[in-house]
Structure 1
């Protein structure tokens, strides 16, 4: 029985900044951001949006009466949780108006947990092939204003339906996971911004890719030329290039150049949005499927990484109807409007964060289908338009 990704959809905020403008404001050569980091634009998050509203917005694009009838579980993968106890999946289920007889949980392991959610969902579908599992990878990457990590911020959500007989990607049985207790990136419970050792984290990422890929090839007997392309976790697009080149080295043959070209195709959307943490790999996959040279029957590799640290390499076969079962990311990105750096800084500092006071946000400037209206009696208040 084939099990895998049946449909995919993406959502981000309606605002962005140009990173060349941010570079000018910070007194940095723009090439450091656009070439050195590999980013062009970054999603800006108004206080009326969070992982719940973004996750619900992405998931709504996938729901039909038939999907809703077969839905058994919602798994939200995030490292931007809004409560230390209550799962964000509960809020999303309510906003989407779904049946109460649905399992709803949240997973955490830095940027890796989106992949864990997919693997867990595959197990649920294997137990009952009539069920569909909704996996949502939603995050808001925050490092602080005028910090070294500021250029690698971002926000968005990727929603995926995991089912039997999938229309996008049939996931193959062999996967290799690898985990070690490392401190390359973390966010203590008292902090709203992450702490990161960037150079160390990049080295760990490359090592984890090499380790998982090598073991995968050993276990399957496959070679790099068996892949039409490889999708990477892309906290910033240059990271994927470092991972791929760490394996290819000085190769200049047809296979190596094909993988490089496909990597470029997978980076298109991430360059426009920034870091999605748990969703970055899967936005990269959508970008590869919509911008790369991909056809039904192709084998794609997927490398997932989460700091702290955990990595996984697995593969899937592209299905005949993949193109019709992806939301139109180009349209989503074209629909946004640009804000100034001053506006971005004001919005960044207006987030609900960890304050305990009651808050009521002005909703007039947010036309999104789901919004965070504020906080009352320590409870977040959401509205469905």
Structure 2
């Protein structure tokens, strides 16, 4: 039985800041951002969007009534959770009108959370072939204004339906994974911004990739020649190239050219959104599917997932026949092209506009946010969400 990705969609807020202009404001050469780390635009989340609303918006356009009935497991991968007790996925039930007879959990391990969710989903479908699993990856990357990590911020979510007989990608059985206690990136519960040792994080990302790649080759007996593309977790898009460079000499010139070309396709969405933590790998995968018009069914895609702290995994899937019929290319193109550019000053205002933490009430103006699902306010420590479609 084939198990894998049956549907996939993404959402990013309607605001962004241009990386060239941010560089000038920070007295940095623009090429450091646009070439050095490979970012062109950075999505900015307004106060009316959080990890819950972004995930709900990502899922809203890919689910039909049959999906909503058959989904009996919701796995929410995030490191931008809004509650230390209640799983963010529980809110999704009401917002999307999902079947109540379902399990719902939140998974956390830095940027690896959604991959853990997909592997859990695969096991669930193996035991329950008629069910479907909704895997959500939603995050707001925050390091702070004028910090070393500011240029690698972003906001967005990816929603994935995992099922038997998938329409887009059939996951293969072999996988290689690794865990090591590393303080390369973390966010204490008392902080709303992350802390990072950038040099160590880059080093660990590369070393994890090299190790799981070697382990995967031993388990699978595959080589670079067997891959049409390798997609990477992209905290910034240059990171994927740094990792690929460590192995592409293992193949022929043709292998190297093919992998580099497809890496470029897989980076396009991430360049214009920024880092979305748990969803970054899957945004890269979606970019490859939607931007490479020559990608063929039957192609094997490698996926490298890395979550600081640290957990890494390399796994693979096979592109399915007629997969293009199940993509939302026009919708995603409109989502990105219709966004509003913020000045650096306006971006800083949005960044500093945060919800109260003392239990006081706040009603938000959701008319300025074009998204279907928004955060409408907070009262007595309770967030109130609105699905505008259901309130027409």
Give the shorter-chain TM-score range. Answer: over 0.9
**Is the 1:46–1:351 Cα contact (8 Å) retained in structure 2?**
no
C-alpha separation in 2, matches of 1:132 and 1:216: 28
State the partner residue of 2:8: 8
Q: Extract unaligned runs of 5+ from structure 2.
A: none
State the partner residue of 1:135: 135
From 337, 341, 352, the equivalent of 1:338 is 341
The question of 1:184 aligning with 2:187 is answered: no
State the partner residue of 1:294: 295
- List aligned pairs for 1:258-273, cutoff 5 A: 258-273=258-273
C-alpha separation in 2, matches of 1:148 and 1:324: 42
> RMSD across aligned C-alpha pairs, in angstroms?
1.3
- List aligned pairs for 1:105-254, cutoff 5 A: 105-248=105-248, 253-254=253-254
Q: Deviations over 1:323-363 (max 9, x none)?
A: 12222222211121111111111010012274543222222
Q: Deviations over 1:279-327 (max 9, x none)?
A: 0000000011112341100000000000000000000000012112222
State the partner residue of 2:88: 88
**Is the 2:179–2:310 Cα contact (8 Å) retained in structure 1?**
yes
Which sits farther off after the overlay, 71-80 or 352-361?
352-361
**Is the 1:10–1:327 Cα contact (8 Å) retained in structure 2?**
no
Displacement of 1:164: 0.3
C-alpha separation in 1, matches of 2:358 and 2:187: 17
Displacement of 1:94: 1.2
The question of 1:381 aligning with 2:384 is answered: yes
Q: TM-score, with normalisation over the residues of structure 2?
A: 0.96
Displacement of 1:365: 1.1
Judging changes above 3 Å, is the alpha-carbon distance between structure 1 residues 207 and 175 closer, same or farther for their aligned structure 2 residues?
same
Question: Aligned to 2:235, what secondary structure does the other structure show?
Answer: coil
Q: TM-score, with normalisation over the residues of structure 1?
A: 0.98
- List aligned pairs for 1:31-110, cutoff 5 A: 31-110=31-110
Question: Aligned to 1:272, what secondary structure does the other structure show?
Answer: helix
Question: Aligned to 2:367, what secondary structure does the other structure show?
Answer: coil
From 347, 352, 357, the equivalent of 1:349 is 352
Q: Extract unaligned runs of 5+ from structure 1.
A: none
State the partner residue of 2:312: 311
Question: Aligned to 1:6, what secondary structure does the other structure show?
Answer: strand
